[in-house]
Amino acid sequence: MATDNAPEIDELSVIFARTDDKHRIAAYLRALFTPRELADLASRWALVKALREKEPQREIARTLGVSLCKITRGSRELKKEDSAFLKMLAVLEADEAESR
């Protein structure tokens, strides 16, 4: 099983960073993951955004159907000094600001 520092993760990161076609990336993700895996990925991102909006954890669990354990993990990641979640949220916010 690959680890989070596997060369394949680095390769995927490079591919995503160099691809400016969101439809191509979405098609790739749909081909790579099962519908259930995609739903899990989407719900994890939704919980990160909900935490950023200061939604109560129990409300997030109820709304998204995710465990408090996953929410706690997400909350902990958001609090890290060099949080990858915060960096990706900043990218999203910049994109949304450009779109206005």
Mean pLDDT value across residues 56-76: 96
Residue 58 is inside which H or E element, if any?
helix 57-64
pLDDT category at 99 given cuts 50, 70, 90 is confident
pLDDT tens-digit series, residues 45-60: 999 999 999 999 999 9
Check whether residue 81 and residue 94 sit in a common domain.
yes
Structure tokens at 75: 């909350």
- Measured in whole angstroms, the distance separating CA 27 from the mean position of its chain's CA atoms is 17
Residue 11 has pLDDT above 90, yes or no: yes
Q: In terms of domains, do 61 and 73 share one?
A: yes
Nearest to 61 by CA among 76, 77, 78, 75: 75
* Domain span at 64: 34-99
Report how many domains make up the chain. 2
